Chain A
Amino acid sequence: MSSLLSRGTVVIDRERCKGCDLCVPACPPGVLRMSGARNARGARTPELLPGCTGCGACLLVCPDFCFEVYRFDEPVLHEGAPT
């Protein structure tokens, strides 16, 4: 179940993603998951659930430089529901 309060967020370059899936298990709060949508390469790409902490682990483990990471000045309440 994902927390509704996000302390950070990311921008994901979906077109550069190769669908390697390394970011998903690397995310400490577990708020990344591979979506069903495919990019122009045919790769499934990650999507973000509420609860990101802005820790940047995804950025560190992504071989394709797909992540940009932000920390909110104030935690943000995202609409969400248990997955």
Chain B
Amino acid sequence: MSHTVDTDSPPKQPARQTGAFLPRLQRSGDHDLCPGCGEPLALRLLLECIEELAMAERAIGVVGIGCYTALTSLIDLDLIQALHGRAPSLATGAKRMRPDSLIFTLQGDGDMVNEGLQEVLHTAARGENVTCVLVNNGVFGETGGHMTATTVLGQRTKNTLEGRDADYHGHPILITDLISRLGGTGYAARGSVHDAKSVEAARRMLRRAFEHQLRGAGFSFVEILTMCPTGWFTPTAEGPGYLERVLAPVHALGEFVVDGRACTPGEDA
């Protein structure tokens, strides 16, 4: 019989805390998103990056509509709620009026790549100095798990129960790839949160994206693949494996554009 270590209270032995429950900019960890959801992991990174850059009092977030919208009650940053797909245009107007602010959007794939595809592409093409952050789980989570523009071929969703079929449902849109082809893009990267290593890589991407904005280096974009075991019909513990096996081979991880120059994704961030 092995003895477990007490984890109900801080250690009595001399120790220093190296990780807090919550980022300083997060009011609480109490949310009703599904067990095993990857979106809160991305939220932690976002808030920790803003804190590291000491930009909390100059940051404005524009939030889209999806499961992650519920996380806004947790965020201690000034926010503007946008309509589905429309966050990039609101971010544009806000940044033009407050060029010294750190303006970011937080959107899901249904929001950004379906409803709002035009918005994000034009915002990138115009080179607006804002950072758009996409949490991509390949489904419309909030409405029950239907196919989005990023759903990969063969992926089962609520309305592609036999798997997405190119002939009937068409092909997925690889949004980071698209954005990386636009002249106004200064930084574009795709990360993931399926394990601790990829979480740290995604953190570095967010950090670099914000640094691009603060330098005025053009449009910055970070896509983060997140687990959605509910939408994927998988047990929670299999979410990370599903992401790696099904989504990541199609939506390639890595940095696509740095400082306005294309680079080969797949190399370490």
Asked whether the complex places CB atoms of A and B closer than 8 A, the reply is: yes
Binding site for B on A (CB under 8 A): 2, 6, 8-14, 16, 18-22, 24-26, 28, 35, 43, 47-50, 52, 54-57, 59-74, 76, 78-83
**CB of B195, distance to nearest CB on chain A (Å):** 6
A80 lies within 8 A of B38 (CB): no
- Which chain A positions have C-beta within 8 A of B15? 8-9, 70-73
B193-216 to A contact mask, C-beta < 8 Å, 1/0: 101100110000000000000000
Beta-carbon nearest neighbor of A1 in chain B = B2
Given A13-B29, A61-B199, the answer on whether A71 and B16 have CB atoms closer than 8 Å is yes
- Which chain B positions have C-beta within 8 A of A82? 2
A47 lies within 8 A of B4 (CB): yes
A22 lies within 8 A of B3 (CB): no
Cβ of B268 under 8 Å from chain A: no
The 6 closest A-B pairs by CB, nearest first: A65-B29, A69-B19, A57-B196, A18-B35, A20-B35, A20-B36
B36 lies within 8 A of A49 (CB): no
B21 lies within 8 A of A68 (CB): yes
A16 lies within 8 A of B20 (CB): no
- Which chain B positions have C-beta within 8 A of A74? 13-14
Please list 24 pairs of residues, one from A and one from B, whose beta carbons are closer than 8 Å in the complex, sorted by A's number.
A6-B5, A9-B7, A10-B7, A11-B7, A11-B9, A13-B21, A22-B227, A22-B239, A25-B240, A26-B195, A28-B196, A47-B4, A56-B18, A56-B19, A56-B196, A60-B196, A60-B199, A70-B10, A70-B16, A70-B17, A73-B13, A74-B14, A78-B3, A81-B2
Beta-carbon nearest neighbor of B1 in chain A = A81
Given A13-B29, A20-B36, A22-B236, the answer on whether A65 and B21 have CB atoms closer than 8 Å is yes
Interface footprint category on B? 35 or more
A65 lies within 8 A of B44 (CB): yes
Among A6, A12, A60, point to the contact of B200 (Cβ < 8 A).
A60
Complex-state Cα separation, A82 to B1, whole angstroms: 8
- Which chain A positions have C-beta within 8 A of B2? 2, 49-50, 80-83
Complex-state Cα separation, A3 to B4, whole angstroms: 12
B176-197 to A contact mask, C-beta < 8 Å, 1/0: 0000000000000000010110
A69 lies within 8 A of B40 (CB): no
Those of B120-137 within 8 Å (CB) of chain A: none
Beta-carbon nearest neighbor of B197 in chain A = A57
Cβ of B266 under 8 Å from chain A: no
Complex-state Cα separation, A67 to B34, whole angstroms: 18
- Which chain A positions have C-beta within 8 A of B13? 72-74, 76
**CB of B230, distance to nearest CB on chain A (Å):** 11
Beta-carbon nearest neighbor of B33 in chain A = A63
A50 lies within 8 A of B3 (CB): yes
Beta-carbon nearest neighbor of B7 in chain A = A12
Complex-state Cα separation, A7 to B3, whole angstroms: 17
**CB of B222, distance to nearest CB on chain A (Å):** 17
